[in-house]
Amino acid sequence: MKSTKIYAIVLIAMTFLWVDSYAQETRPSREKWDQVSMQGTVTEINAETREITLMGSDGGLVTMTAGEEVERFNEIAIDDVIKFEYYTYLKAEFRDPTPEEVAEPVQMIAEAGKAPEGVDPAAAVGAVVKAVVTIEALNRPFMVATVSGPNGNYVSIPMEDEKLMTELHIGEVLILTYAEAVAIGLEKVEVKQ
């Protein structure tokens, strides 16, 4: 009797794993370019890499790099409220990572380049990175998914497909190719007290 229960549990677990794996394999990849203009509160600064993590008004986090053209970078501090603008490219592949991707979860695909047709030609694309990421939060009312990368960076992704949003789950691992034009503007906002 005991071994029958164990076999039943193993069979149920294998069925759930197969169903989850099948759902990931049949879900098509998604990709898009966006121009992002938003206001956020600085939650973290890495002066060495010029990376800033900001929290938007919806609670979403984004880590971005301030280009060399951003003046007075050293005047930005934690808890400052700033406006910023940049372009992003995003491709999500809903599949299990390959052994190579597991061994090297962050891969630099390109150092820099020009933005594609239809995007302001002055916007130079920063690094194009392919990473194994994990879904950390799903804000379904606001249609935002937040993922974390292997280096602890976060990005909040506005979602357009309600059906896809209901299929995703916290803890799900996916392959994200992400390019971000270096910030084309950072401006402190005076907060009225």
Give the pLDDT confidence score for residue 182 in this predicted structure: 57
Give the pLDDT confidence score for residue 190 in this predicted structure: 78
Distance between CA atoms of residues 144 and 165, nearest Å: 8
> What distance, in Å, lies between the first and last C-alpha atoms of the chain?
69
Does the pTM exceed 0.75? no
DSSP state at residue 75: G
Give the pLDDT confidence score for residue 38 in this predicted structure: 78
- The set of residues, in sequence order, having a beta carbon less than 8 Å from that of 139 and lying 6+ positions away, is 58, 59, 60, 145, 146
Give the pLDDT confidence score for residue 32 in this predicted structure: 82
Ranges of residues in the chain with a pLDDT under 70 are 1-26, 69, 110-127, 180-186, 193
Give the pLDDT confidence score for residue 117 in this predicted structure: 54
- Answer for the pair 105, 95: CB distance below 8 angstroms, yes or no: no
Distant-in-sequence contacts of 16-20, Cβ < 8 A, 24+ apart = none
Give the pLDDT confidence score for residue 173 in this predicted structure: 95
Give the pLDDT confidence score for residue 104 in this predicted structure: 94
